[in-house]
Structure 1
Amino acid sequence: MTITGTAKPPRGSAAQPHEDYGFFGPDSVTWKVWGYPTSLTVGFQRSVVVEELDPNLVAAVDKTHDIYKRPRTRYDRTLRYFAMVAFGGSRETATAADVLVKIHSKAIGTEPYGGGRYDANDPASQLWIHLTAWHSILYAYEKYGPGPLSPQEEARYWEECAVAAELQTCSPDDVPRTRDGVRRYFESMRPQLQASEIAVQAMDHLLKADVMLPPMPRAARPAAWLVTRVLRAGTIATMPRWMREMSGLRQPSIVDVLVRPILWTSFHAIRISPRAELMALKILSPMTHPVVAPIKLGVAPVNPEVVTPAEARTRYGLDRPAEAHQELRARQAARVFGEGIEPSDEGLIESEPILGRMS
């Protein structure tokens, strides 16, 4: 779909245009919600924290220990991929999704508490990650941003969520299209969630936003400490009571009340200046900056068109994620479950030009 009337690059803009509008574009509800500063801060933090309650997902996270060994790099690469899905060009985003299947092929093993096998490419696991992210981004937008969408906009948001699911190994047919449907999904997942020792450890670690920051000048450390504590409180305030109690994330109700106007005012203020938003993003996630910068600065893509995931796969010769790299996935399973050795690192080096350096 071609969109006319796009903005010209502003004078002095250093942002490089995307090849196209990717899978959504400026008229989408995704750009409206994900483009607000709540999304890549509280929304993103909430999603990665809540995800850890899935025993299979946290088993894969704990196996590599990457969130502890290289937290900033892991945060930077993950946030970049989140942003690419919403704002990136179709070629780079579809390629990133394809490479991610390769990376996830090594995230397999035996879950330490239940003893079952986990696989990061499992469609059920991918659906959990996908819906947790899209729900968290919307919830943060509603709580600390402009507020609820109109019924028509929310319906479009979940339709667009289903479009984005085509970049995962899960089926878009499994994505609920209503808020009630999303609630039912999370209720159905609740009996499977576990606040195991490794889950609680990971959740607490991911709530410490300061571990994701670069080394700060001494004079800036008090302000950075305050910002990260407010973000932590704001993220916990979005989590339901049962989830907090399960995870040991206790926070007084008065903190829930007080943090809301602080964050609402802060996000509203930074929203006024796109350049200020981008400066903050460059500190938080330098690899995400070039994905978001052309959107914030109104830099039109080379081809002003929106592409469907199916069109992208045809154009760039890619398989559907659920069907991609089956031979590699079988080899990895044979290594881990058959020979009892570590999986290979195929896909990791290949991912660096797309998702950023590993270190």
Structure 2
Amino acid sequence: MQDRPALELTRPTLRETDYGFFGPDSPTWKVWTHPTALIGFQRAVTLEHFDPGLTAAVADLGGIYSDPRGRLDHTFAYFLIAAVGDGRTAVSAADHLLRVHAQSTGIEPISGKRYSANNPASQLWIHITGWHSVLKCYEVFGPGPLDPDEEQQFWAECVIAAGLQTCREAEVPTSRAEVREYFAQVRPTLCVSERARRGMHYLLYTPRDRGLTLWAGARAVAPAAVATLPRWMRELGGFDQPRLLEAGYIPAAQALMRLAGARPELLEQLLPRLIGPMTADLYRQHRRGGVPQNPATVSVAQARERYAEQRTPA
């Protein structure tokens, strides 16, 4: 997980100016606000450690060890804002991260080369592992696969969201087939170090001294998240698990997600303890969000232009 700093707004307004980049009928809203996104999120932040530059950034900053709940809360909040927030809030949050990441550099010890948190390749790995993970877990533990048109739209929206960070648009996969090609292409560049394994296992099996809720929540979700990963990733990360465990765990997780999907008010009540107050507040705003000032979607470029004067200066 990239060690994302706290968002500038202590209480972001999720839907005031417009419907953001995708809108109420989009597959992005459907997938990113389903309870299965919690499983997908743990999957994604674990996989980010396969990128050696991101591992170095996380280890050098150390925030996931000193304040894991805060780091997870702000990271999930950023993903949620990008997916369902209005244009003003999304570009403000993204611009803040870009400015802070510009100061997050150091030496990656495996290669001896300098890393940068804004490196386009690393940002693309974060983006794709996030969007692919939430979709994968939506399919396995939630309502199931999107229909072909929705899936095509989901990946088109993934490209749009990538424009908030330093990703090169031409390199962002636009379909499931291209996602597979992307993973095959980057696989030779991935590696696991002692620090990477520590980060992965810390996120999957958070120690008890980090708090009972975080400890229990991470360990309850971990078998489901790992069950969706290919065998080579499990073996490389050192967190493979018995097939017998998965045989019983997957149906149980599916039943729990069906219950959570049918009772979103219960998830709203649990989110402050499961993730954190910012994510919980954003989810509450999303569920209660009314009609914004401009009941339409905007592009990232339009949002940057329209709200330039309202964004926090560098």
TM-score by length of 1: 0.78
Pairwise mapping of residues 259-278 of structure 1 onto structure 2 (< 5 A)? 259-278=249-268
Pairwise mapping of residues 150-169 of structure 1 onto structure 2 (< 5 A)? 150-169=147-166
2:18 aligned partner: 20
CA change 1:151–1:17 in 2 (3 A) is closer
**Aligned residues of 2:206 and 2:215 also touching (Cα < 8 A):** no
**Aligned residues of 1:87 and 1:292 also touching (Cα < 8 A):** no
Task: For 1:16 and 1:173, locate their aligned partners in 2 and report how far apart those are by CA, in whole Å.
Answer: 29
Describe the SS at the equivalent of 1:110. Answer: strand
**Aligned residues of 1:49 and 1:206 also touching (Cα < 8 A):** yes
**Aligned residues of 2:19 and 2:295 also touching (Cα < 8 A):** yes
2:85 aligned partner: 88
Q: Which has the larger radius of gyration?
A: 1
Larger mean CA deviation between 234-243 and 280-289 belongs to 280-289
CA change 1:121–1:25 in 2 (3 A) is same
CA change 1:117–1:262 in 2 (3 A) is same
1:60 aligned partner: 57
Task: For 1:243 and 1:212, locate their aligned partners in 2 and report how far apart those are by CA, in whole Å.
Answer: 28
Matched, 1:203 2:200: yes
Task: For 2:224 and 2:16, locate their aligned partners in 1 and report how far apart those are by CA, in whole Å.
Answer: 33
Describe the SS at the equivalent of 1:287. Answer: helix
The one-letter code of the counterpart of 2:186 is M
The one-letter code of the counterpart of 1:283 is R
**Aligned residues of 1:87 and 1:291 also touching (Cα < 8 A):** no
Describe the SS at the equivalent of 1:117. Answer: strand
Task: For 1:262 and 1:212, locate their aligned partners in 2 and report how far apart those are by CA, in whole Å.
Answer: 27
Please list the CA deviations of residues 143-192 of structure 1 after superposition, one character each: whole Å capped at 9, or x if unmatched: 11111111111110000000001101112221111111100000111111
Q: How many residues align?
A: 299
1:291 aligned partner: 282
Pairwise mapping of residues 155-304 of structure 1 onto structure 2 (< 5 A)? 155-208=152-205, 215=211, 227-284=217-274, 285-297=276-288, 299-304=290-295
1:305 to 296, 303, 309: 296
In structure 1, stretches of 5+ residues that fail to align are 1-14, 319-346, 352-359
Task: Give the aligned CA root-mean-square deviation in angstroms.
Answer: 2.2
> Percentage identity across aligned positions?
44
1:133 aligned partner: 130
Task: For 1:283 and 1:19, locate their aligned partners in 2 and report how far apart those are by CA, in whole Å.
Answer: 29
Task: For 2:208 and 2:162, locate their aligned partners in 1 and report how far apart those are by CA, in whole Å.
Answer: 30
Describe the SS at the equivalent of 1:177. Answer: coil
The one-letter code of the counterpart of 1:264 is Q
Task: For 2:129 and 2:188, locate their aligned partners in 1 and report how far apart those are by CA, in whole Å.
Answer: 16
2:4 aligned partner: none
**Aligned residues of 2:15 and 2:86 also touching (Cα < 8 A):** no
Please list the CA deviations of residues 231-273 of structure 1 after superposition, one character each: whole Å capped at 9, or x if unmatched: 1111111111111111111310111221111111101101112
2:144 to 143, 147, 154: 147
CA shift for structure 1 position 209 = 5.1
In structure 2, stretches of 5+ residues that fail to align are 1-12
CA shift for structure 1 position 212 = 10
TM-score by length of 2: 0.89
**Aligned residues of 2:36 and 2:134 also touching (Cα < 8 A):** yes
CA change 1:182–1:147 in 2 (3 A) is same
1:45 aligned partner: 42
The one-letter code of the counterpart of 1:263 is A
**Aligned residues of 2:58 and 2:64 also touching (Cα < 8 A):** yes
